[in-house]
């Protein structure tokens, strides 16, 4: 049975563009997999803890030597990796925060880098490959070729590298200029923002063809 892992990271609730678009994508996925199952994780509303000096070394210490904090951190890592292992498709909402990924997404990736779970401890071979990872990126400004901030989107550039050890290879759908409708100095960019949103929605609607129901 097909299984989707749907992850949001925006802290903006229902006004979040990335959340609106991942919700649209999840609906498209459900239409293509009417018998499929979905697990939802909200990193914006319920962030996972970052790796720290108290428990973070649990992934580099034998389990029988774990402190209580290390055991708890490793147990969360096992849970997060398990969610990915169970999924055929992973849908990640990726808003651009201060030119990079939200810290909650960085924490999620850090937990996924787990020896013996997401990559082979000796060969370093990724163990999570073969899954479809779709990252839906929302950017408040314009970062395309020829713009003043070309290359400032470090989230899209970083994610494939951050996940490389696991074997996961994200593909991206991006909408930008999302701040234009609410920023007076960007009002002249509203038509470009609307077109960027339209193109993203079109790409989302084509991600998975709807299931054919035989009567």
Which position has the token pair 């370093």? 124
Phi, psi of 90 (to 5 degrees): -120, 130
- The CATH number covering residue 181 comes to 3.40.50.360
The predicted structure's pLDDT at residue 184? 95
The predicted structure's pLDDT at residue 215? 60
CA separation (Å) from 141 to 20, 34, 145, 153? 18, 36, 13, 10
Structural domain for 62, as ranges: 3-205
User: What is the count of structural domains for the chain?
Assistant: 1
Low-confidence ranges of the chain (pLDDT < 50): none
Helix count and strand count (H, E) for the chain: 5, 5
Confirm whether 83 is domain-assigned: yes
Confirm whether 159 is domain-assigned: yes
Residue-wise pLDDT for 105-153, tens only, equals: 999 999 999 999 999 999 999 999 999 999 999 999 999 889 999 999 9
The predicted structure's pLDDT at residue 124? 95
The predicted structure's pLDDT at residue 210? 86
Confirm whether 210 is domain-assigned: no
């Amino acid at each position: 049975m097909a299984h989707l892992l749907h992850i949001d990271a925006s802290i903006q609730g229902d006004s979040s563009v990335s959340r609106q678009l991942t919700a649209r994508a999840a609906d498209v996925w459900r239409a293509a997999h009417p018998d499929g199952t979905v697990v939802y994780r909200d990193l914006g509303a319920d962030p996972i803890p970052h790796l720290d000096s108290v428990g973070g070394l649990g992934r580099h210490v034998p389990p029988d030597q774990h402190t209580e904090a290390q055991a708890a951190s490793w147990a969360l890592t096992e849970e997060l990796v398990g969610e990915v292992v169970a999924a055929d498709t992973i849908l990640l909402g990726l808003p651009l925060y201060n030119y990079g990924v939200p810290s909650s997404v960085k924490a999620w990736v850090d937990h996924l880098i787990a020896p013996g779970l997401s990559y082979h401890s000796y060969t370093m071979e990724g163990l999570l490959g073969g899954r479809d990872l779709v990252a839906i990126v929302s950017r408040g400004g314009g970062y395309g070729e020829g713009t003043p901030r070309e290359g400032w989107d470090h989230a899209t550039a970083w994610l494939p590298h951050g996940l490389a050890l696991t074997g996961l290879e994200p593909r991206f759908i991006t909408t930008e200029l999302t701040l234009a409708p609410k920023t007076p100095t960007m009002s002249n960019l509203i038509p470009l923002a609307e077109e960027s949103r339209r193109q993203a929605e079109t790409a989302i609607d084509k991600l998975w063809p709807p299931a054919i129901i035989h009567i």
